[in-house]
């Protein structure tokens, strides 16, 4: 059975702010599903998304930028400061 997560759950799992997860959802940069009016994220899809973004960072050399209180690598993965 699939495990569905809330934006808050995803934010905690990937160590990003909930606001960042919601922005990625709005920009369709993260896999999500609408169930009625509710947005949910499949745990297995989030794990694959994180893996792909980590691989992308390695291939890009992981140059870092500071963006609104978060450290952002060239591949777009964020860590809170």
Query: pLDDT tens, 34-65?
Result: 999 999 999 999 999 999 988 877 655 544 44
* Domain count of the fold of the chain: 1
User: What phi-psi label fits residue 35: left (phi over 0), alpha (psi between -120 and 50 degrees) or beta?
Assistant: beta
CATH, residue 28: 1.10.1660.10
What residue numbers bound the domain in which 42 lies? 4-80
Judge contact between 27 and 39, C-beta under 8 A: no
Pair of tokens at residue 31: 């896999």
pTM of the model: 0.69
């Amino acid at each position: 059975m699939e495990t569905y997560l809330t934006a808050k759950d995803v934010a905690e799992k990937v160590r990003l702010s909930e606001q960042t997860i919601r922005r990625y959802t709005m920009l369709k940069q993260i896999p999500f599903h609408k169930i009625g009016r509710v947005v949910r994220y499949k745990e297995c899809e989030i794990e694959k998304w994180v893996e792909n973004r980590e691989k992308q960072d390695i291939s890009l050399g992981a140059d870092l930028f500071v963006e609104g209180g978060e450290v952002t690598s060239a591949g777009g993965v964020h860590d809170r400061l």
